[in-house]
């Protein structure tokens, strides 16, 4: 299958590990990603400070280009995924908004009929490609590795999407089949605070401390995430949390695509694992030394 790839602003540089690993695993699984030419920011936080038509038109521009390409969008960032899907929903349910947005888009010769579907890589991997076909291509087993799957809040919400909203299980199933032990992680959809790390730092630090604490309590070796913001908060601010709460967290945070890439036998460098702040645990390093043919 071919997809229109929408990396989003954080994946361009700050979270290059996610971008690299998504591209690599899609390639090895025989899926083609064509980056949307000249995509623009999905709008994310701007939604609150400008009026409706502006924020919808900005995000609909990407949907319109993908529609022209005749492809569904793949958006790995949870925030982009939610915003693009939300735009789609509003345009499909409020006809006058749809008309207004199209009027704005026509200024640059675009129009959008509402056909583009917005997909998340996890959905495609598990529901389209299927765990069984992925397992056929694995080159390593995650045997002995304890994984805390952290979905974050936005990929399964607000509407009922590709997984349960309170207890999503797709990552659990996927990595369980890859041999990992999935630890009990009741905080799997608890919010990391997102941009609150900038505006209400104390609150966000507390939220992330709780997420790390829960993973540690259940003896997880790593946390896997699906969202660049969660990743940044959990990884980039771990030092600060340790400083403030007098804890000793040293929890490696991996994108689920990076962990899957390891299972599929991809080398460390092509998965952007060199960009992690916290080194991989010894268990995972030993796993990477083995490779079945």
Q: Which residues form the interface with another protein (CB under 8 A)? A: 9-10, 12-16, 37-41, 43-54, 56-58, 61, 89-90, 93-94, 96-97, 100-101, 103-105, 107-110, 153-154, 157-158, 160, 165-166, 189-191, 193-196, 198-201, 203, 207, 236-237, 239, 274-277
Least distance from another protein to the Cβ atom of residue 34, Å: 16
Please tell me the distance from the alpha carbon of residue 42 to that of residue 255, in angstroms, as a whole number. 21
Q: Walk across the sheet containing 222-225 and list its strands.
A: 181-182, 146-149, 222-225, 253-255
Dihedrals φ, ψ of 74, to 5°? -110, 120
Nearer to another protein, 14 or 31 (CB): 14
Least distance from another protein to the Cβ atom of residue 172, Å: 19
Least distance from another protein to the Cβ atom of residue 25, Å: 20
Nearer to another protein, 133 or 274 (CB): 274
Least distance from another protein to the Cβ atom of residue 143, Å: 29
Write the DSSP string, 10-64: HHHTTTHHHHHHHHHHHHHTT-EEEEPTT-----GGGGGTS-HHHHHHHHHHHHH
Nearer to another protein, 33 or 55 (CB): 55
Nearer to another protein, 12 or 128 (CB): 12
Nearer to another protein, 110 or 131 (CB): 110
Dihedrals φ, ψ of 142, to 5°? -90, 20
Nearer to another protein, 6 or 175 (CB): 6
Please tell me the distance from the alpha carbon of residue 182 to that of residue 172, in angstroms, as a whole number. 6
Least distance from another protein to the Cβ atom of residue 132, Å: 29
Q: Are 241 and 208 in contact (CB under 8 A)?
A: yes
Number of neighbouring beta carbons within 10 Å of residue 47: 17
Least distance from another protein to the Cβ atom of residue 100, Å: 5
Least distance from another protein to the Cβ atom of residue 136, Å: 33
Helices 52-69 and 95-105, axial angle in degrees (round to 10): 70
Nearer to another protein, 121 or 193 (CB): 193
For 174, the token pair is 């996927």
Please tell me the distance from the alpha carbon of residue 135 to that of residue 132, in angstroms, as a whole number. 5
């Amino acid at each position: 299958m071919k997809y229109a790839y929408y990396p989003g602003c954080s994946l361009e540089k700050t979270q290059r590990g996610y971008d690299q690993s998504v591209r690599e695993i899609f390639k090895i699984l025989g899926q083609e990603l064509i980056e949307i030419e000249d995509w623009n920011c999905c709008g994310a936080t701007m939604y609150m400070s400008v009026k409706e038509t502006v924020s919808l038109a900005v995000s609909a521009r990407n949907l319109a280009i993908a529609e022209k390409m005749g492809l569904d969008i793949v958006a790995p960032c949870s925030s982009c995924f939610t915003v693009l899907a939300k735009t789609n929903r509003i345009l499909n349910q409020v006809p006058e908004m749809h008309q207004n947005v199209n009027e704005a888009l026509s200024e640059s010769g675009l129009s959008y009929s509402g056909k583009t579907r917005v997909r998340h890589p996890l959905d495609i991997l598990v529901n389209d490609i299927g765990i069984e076909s992925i397992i056929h291509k694995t080159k390593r087993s995650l045997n002995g590795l304890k994984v805390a799957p952290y979905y974050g809040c936005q990929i399964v919400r607000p509407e009922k999407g590709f997984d349960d909203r309170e207890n999503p299980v797709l990552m659990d199933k996927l990595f369980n089949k890859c041999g990992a032990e999935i630890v009990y992680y009741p905080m799997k959809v608890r919010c990391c605070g997102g941009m609150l790390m900038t505006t209400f730092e104390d609150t966000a630090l507390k939220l992330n401390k709780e997420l790390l604490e829960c993973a540690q309590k259940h003896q997880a070796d790593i946390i896997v995430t699906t969202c660049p913001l969660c990743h940044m908060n959990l990884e980039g601010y771990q030092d600060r949390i340790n400083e403030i709460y007098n804890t000793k967290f040293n929890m490696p945070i991996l994108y689920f695509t990076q962990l899957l890439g390891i299972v599929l036998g991809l080398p460390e460098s092509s998965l952007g694992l060199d960009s992690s702040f916290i080194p991989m645990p010894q268990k995972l390093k030993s796993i990477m030394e083995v490779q079945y043919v």
